[in-house]
Amino acid sequence: MAAVSGINGAFYIADDGGTPAEFAKVRTWSVDVNAEEVDVTGFGDTGWRTTVGGLKSWTSTVEGQCDNSTGWNVLWSNIGSEVEVRYYISEGGTIYFAGSATVITISPTTSVDSSGTFSATLSGIGALTYTTS
């Protein structure tokens, strides 16, 4: 895969089973995917730990500007609830992550000399899919 500029990324969100739509004021997103490590060491492993992959999980962080956009309203009104999300690596492209998540935290911030911003944490519900076409 050729390098892709982050300037073309996007974050989409929807509630109530709707189709995710772009949240235009998002400036940064990150997704962390993890697999638990399960210890299966036995006496016959001669003092060396043996592990296998266990349950998988994912979380994400989204940051942007506070405004009255549809995306902000969906995020704000769904704290503690399930939303559908898509994380595009390149807007209009075919490479993205998608899944259902619970909105865990929203942290609005403002300063006298800048626009209001926010960060939000989402916790994945079930699988996160990765699409490349």
pLDDT for 79: 95
pLDDT for 4: 67
Closest CA relative to residue 122, chosen from 102, 100, 107: 102
Which tens digits make up the pLDDT trace of 93-130? Answer: 778 999 999 999 999 998 899 888 899 999 999 999 99
Q: How far apart are the first and last CA of the chain?
A: 12
Q: What is the DSSP letter of 33?
A: E
pLDDT for 91: 60
Which tens digits make up the pLDDT trace of 20-60? Answer: 888 888 999 999 999 999 999 999 999 999 999 999 999 99
Query: Do 58 and 99 contact (CB within 8 A), yes or no?
Result: yes
Which tens digits make up the pLDDT trace of 119-129? Answer: 999 999 999 99
Which tens digits make up the pLDDT trace of 68-92? Answer: 777 888 888 999 999 999 999 876 6
Query: Nearest 5 degrees, angle CA 67-CA 8-CA 101?
Result: 60
Q: Which residue has the higher pLDDT, 80 or 19?
A: 80
| Residue 72: its H or E element | helix 70-77
Global pTM reads: 0.86
